[in-house]
Amino acid sequence: MIQVENLTKRYGSFEAIRDISFEVEKGEVVGFLGPNGAGKSTTMRILCGCIGATSGRAVIGGKGVLEYPREVKQKIGYLPETPPLYPAMTVQDYIAFAAKIKNVADPKKATAEVIERVGLSEVAHRIIDHLSKGYRQRVGLAQALVHQPDVLVLDEPTSGLDPAQRKEIRDLLIELAAGDRTVILSTHVLGEIEAVCERVVIIERGRVITQDSIANLRGANTQVRLEVARPGADVTAALSSVDGVVSVTAEAGGVYVVAATGDRREKLAAAAVPAGLLAMGQAEQLEDIYLRLTQGDSQ
């Protein structure tokens, strides 16, 4: 659905991105990660036809963004970090306006449907400027969805929100990810990426440093961290006996780090219960992987 081929963007002598290439299949939900200034927003703006590339090519649904700008924009819903809202309009009027300029066949029907879908019914007749930031983010998401695009590009959709508001938007993203829409999601909240994405593209200083599934980035051996109330040699033996376990490392405080092929958490939990299982989780989270990759980059 999305092909990015050797994309470069220069501002004078400064290269915002250089020779970026990646693909996103139809129906795939991909996390687009990188430190501030890495080139994420630049790449997303090029994909959406907001700015042009210095060289390279972006293709959406088989059509080049540069060659077929109108056709491509009809396929894309874009939510930038700061939603493009008109604060003096009501929610309903703004979304209807967005539907009309996007050539939706039945703007009234599309507006009603998207208002219901993103949970804006209670504030549909309120002035946008009077809404909380969480609701304004929902309005921005509604304008991105009102024309039912094949591709959704989200740039920091939960930026500046409190934990409750982030959860609301994350729940919406999980719902969207369950369909057949292609989604690129950029955020610094890596828990959101783990919740909705199976694959990530990570860029650093304007270039792609890795692109792979989260499972593959964690490695062939999945590491699980367990904490038990009654540690001992019998716990190590019980954990080691679980099918697929490669190694068991005992640490201080009743903590065990287990490397295993595939997901063995259910069997590991059962083995640890007699010793008083207190906690269990992945030993290496996406945040650990991200920091390892970006901080280890020498370019």
Residue 221, pLDDT score: 56
The predicted-structure confidence for 229-286, as pLDDT tens digits, reads as follows 999 999 999 999 999 999 999 999 999 999 888 778 899 999 999 999 999 987 667 7
Q: Whole-prediction pTM value?
A: 0.76
Out of 57-61, 88-92, 109-113, 219-223, pick the least confident: 219-223
Residue 65, pLDDT score: 93
Going along the chain from its start, the domains and CATH numbers come out as 2-216 (3.40.50.300), 220-292 (3.30.70.100)
| pLDDT greater than 60 at residue 8 | yes
| pLDDT greater than 90 at residue 128 | yes
| pLDDT greater than 80 at residue 178 | no
Tell me what the mean pLDDT of segment 68-97 comes to: 93
User: What residues contact 29, with CB distance under 8 A and at least 6 apart?
Assistant: 177, 182, 183, 185, 196, 197, 198, 199
Tell me what the mean pLDDT of segment 183-189 comes to: 87
